[in-house]
Amino acid sequence: MGRSAELSTLEENFNGSGIPVAIIYGREGIGKTELAKQFIKNKSHVYYLCRELSKDEQMCHLDKKIDQVDAKVLSGERVCFILDEVSLLIRGYKDFFEEFEKRLRGLAWTGKVMILLMSSSTVWGQRETDRDELGDFVDLVTCKIKLEELSFLEMVELFPDASTESIISAYSILGGVPEYLRYWDMTKGISDNIKKIFLVSGAPLVNEVERFLRKSFRELTYYNTILTALAEDELKLNYIFKKTGFKRAKISVYINNLIQLGIARKYKSWEPKAKDVTMKGIYGIQDPLLHFWYKFIYPHLSQLGWYDADEFYDAYVKEGLEEYVNITFEKVAMEYISLMNKYHKLPVSYDSFGTFFGKKNKISIIGSTKKEGLLVGRALWQDGRFDLADFKKLKEDCKELKEPVERYYVFCKGGFSEDVKRIADSEKLEMVDLESL
């Protein structure tokens, strides 16, 4: 499962003084329950799943769990008391934390009980240390952990027998969400997995996007429209305005809501000294599952139930899939180069990395340092080899930066031509294929 750092943090809190309160939050399927199960192995614990209930009905269930904790404490046990999906509890019981904090003062839990709060609401998780929200209970909070999607390196560790191509393919469609990844067969190709997970009758994730969005939003009419526009990968806000016909103020509100949930993001370009060459105000879908859904499937829902899986895939998914996976390949390349820099495996230590969104070109990796010229990187998810024409194109694109380039890193699924290999040393070109990753 990984998550060793998170487990270590929870362990420290469990052995702390007072009544430590730890908070774990993150989207559904990210691994909160599995993390909690790993943590409470060989520990005395009481678990309560919160529901949307009235205050009285909620406390009728919760009081029984509190009594169980009391009984364990009286028997000399050190206990972890888990309240899962706590954001649902406070919908019908706004003053819960304030009243619970007062109740704790009368309980003999000090030094004997750790409280673990869990929530799938990232919005609640981001504001849970607000005194207006928790009252004096906030003083008991000793740590909060936001569970993020698995990184590429963690994916490699999770699937040690899988090929790099299979892992990147899965990562590009499902992201690093463990609950989704269990549906991916690493022994099969990307087309077979897409058909099995989305296109056949009874496919496991065919309704997941709508279910996920309905838990967070009411006005799906607007969100579906905006996400469909964002999925076209036209990054400027002005394009979304023209495509949807919505007022700019309304678009900004909805996109900010999507950003808050980690569904969308605002891209900030690496800034060269020449400030007039970068794009401003650019947005895109960050969540891989939603990006894939709104790019390839949602626009053709009428055909999804009408065509068989092979017909739908050939008609609407096959074309453009390579370009789509390239987005994730760029992300993997950035993670690789950042780790190389962190562990001093690059010729020079770089101060920062970013992506250049120019008015003419995009360069996926820019590394800068005051010591020398730039590191420029490009990732290409293509079967063909990276050749001299590709290298010439990269160098031509770099002219938009208007700054000297010291070295190049190129990541290519299809490998590199012999001509490129011959000029690599003289051009300070590092070549990274899938096997190197």
Per-residue pLDDT in tens (0 to 9) along the chain, 437 residues = 568 889 999 999 999 899 999 999 999 999 999 999 999 999 999 999 999 999 999 999 999 999 999 999 999 999 999 999 999 998 889 889 989 999 999 999 999 999 999 999 887 877 655 676 777 888 899 999 999 999 999 999 999 999 999 999 999 999 999 999 999 999 999 999 999 999 999 999 999 999 999 988 888 999 999 999 999 987 788 888 898 999 989 999 999 999 988 999 999 999 998 878 999 889 999 999 999 999 999 999 999 989 999 999 999 999 999 999 999 999 999 999 999 999 999 999 999 999 999 999 999 999 999 889 999 999 999 999 999 999 999 999 999 999 999 999 999 999 999 999 999 999 999 999 998 88
| pLDDT tens-digit series, residues 75-84 | 999 999 999 9
Which residue type sits at 339? L
Cβ(113)–Cβ(251) under 8 Å? no
**What residue segments make up the domains of the chain, in order of their start?**
4-146, 150-187, 203-319, 325-432
- The reply to whether domains 4-146 and 203-319 share a CATH topology is no
Rama region for 76: left / alpha / beta (φ>0; ψ in -120 to 50; rest): left
- Of 206, 224, 208, 175, the closest CA to residue 328 belongs to 175
The CATH class given to the 325-432 domain equals alpha beta
Q: What is the CATH number of domain 203-319?
A: 1.10.10.10
| pLDDT tens-digit series, residues 196-217 | 999 999 999 999 999 999 988 8
- CA distance linking residue 244 with residue 184, whole number of Å: 34
Burial of 392 (0-12, 13-18, 19+ CB in 10 A): exposed
Token code pair at residue 311: 């017909």
**Topology (CATH level 3) of domain 4-146:** Rossmann fold (3.40.50)
The secondary structure of residue 263, as a DSSP letter, is S
Cβ(389)–Cβ(357) under 8 Å? no
